[in-house]
Structure 1
Amino acid sequence: MLDLKICPGCGEFAEVPRAEQGRLVCARCGHRREFRRLPLFALTGPSAAGKSTVGPALARLLGDRVVPLEQDVLWTGGLRDDVDGHPAFRSTWLRMAAMIQQSGRPVVLCGTVVPPEFEPLPERVFFSEIHYLALVAEPGVLARRLRARPAWRGWDEPRIAEMLEFNDWLRAEAGRLEPPVRLVDTTTAPLDETVATVCAWVTDRLPRE
């Protein structure tokens, strides 16, 4: 699938893509093409809240309807070194998800992201909506989970403190973000219950046939 930022008519690369009435419009040559503008599902939250556990279950249960992806696979090189909210990293993911959804299945992106990091980006135009659900947990439980991770993952105390701060911020501010972020607390919830909650959240928001 051709990158939606590249015009198939003249090859122009659109730094700021433009969509009008269900079509992408090239600012250089005026070429118009239809594209699938589907919702994106952002399954977010702090590390150790459960995203990487729930994601594979979504692939098993909803794989015929959505494409679950792990955000960290692109957390490399220049994308990781990007600053101020990592806009190049976020933009790359939106471009990738937009290409994948041309197959007709929306993407469920599992990773740490909040609306202010996605909503202002030029690539946001590729999606009808972005839905956000965050898995969170009580700080003490989250800290224990992070300390139990293998040493190669690099979870030292300063990094754990940073993640706990994000967890606290998200729990306090989720409802005031635009759009609001739904919270699911995984502190004591059984895995199958959390999976069922996330599955229902996705399926309730899928486009109707």
Structure 2
Amino acid sequence: MVPLFIVTGTSGAGKTTVAKHLRKALPDCDVFDTDEMHAADWDQARSNWLKVAFQIGQSGRHTVLCGTQMPGDVERCDHYRFFREVHYLNLHCDDAAREARLRGRPAWRGTTDAFVEDHKNFARWLLDNGETAFDPPLVTVDTTDRTPEQAAGLIRDWVLARI
């Protein structure tokens, strides 16, 4: 059984951007942006990602999923039990950076004041509850003033320390 690695966080924290750099930083791991394969049924999509990660683990390789995932949702997936542990890393940025990133997205993404406020509150919740709502505790990497390459390097080190 191999561990599973999940890079989570709010919208705008940098998960999609960092995934591209993680593929280079972790050539012996399979790195996925979970937004690339989703469906109207988020539980089914999440379950499918764990099935993919399990199959990859069968060959001894490790998987890093980049996308907003929470322990309770992941634990409901039928393939959850096939992982030795699930490690979570929170990509975080300050409120001003998050808002600028979200408002810089194309209009079709539908960024509203309420959406920005929801993600501000979610970011605070992750910081306040990372020690207790995640097992093992949530690790946070702040992307506010880091390049995607720098963030990927920190995530690489986090993954390699747990393999």
Establish whether TM, by shorter chain, passes 0.5. Answer: yes
Q: Which residue in 2 is equivalent to 1:201?
A: 158
Aligned 1:3-42 pairs, distance under 5 A: 37-42=1-6
Structure 2 counterpart of 1:170, one-letter code: L
Range moving further from structure 2, 101-110 or 126-135: 101-110
Aligned 1:40-119 pairs, distance under 5 A: 40-63=4-27, 65-76=28-39, 80=40, 82=41, 86-119=42-75
- Tell me which protein shows more helix as a share of its residues: 2
Deviation of the 1:141 alpha carbon = 1.6
Distance in 2 (CA, whole Å) between partners of 1:202 and 1:186 is: 17
In structure 1, the gaps of 5 or more residues are 1-36
Deviation of the 1:45 alpha carbon = 0.6
Range moving further from structure 2, 38-47 or 183-192: 183-192
Q: Which residue in 1 is equivalent to 2:115?
A: 159
In structure 2, the gaps of 5 or more residues are none
Q: State the identity %.
A: 36
Distance in 2 (CA, whole Å) between partners of 1:146 and 1:68 is: 23
TM-score by length of 1: 0.72
Structure 1 counterpart of 2:29, one-letter code: V
Distance in 2 (CA, whole Å) between partners of 1:121 and 1:184 is: 26
Aligned residues: 162
Check the 8 A contact 2:71/2:134 in 1, yes or no.
Answer: yes
Distance in 2 (CA, whole Å) between partners of 1:115 and 1:134 is: 12
TM-score by length of 2: 0.91
Over the aligned positions, Cα root-mean-square deviation in angstroms equals 1.6
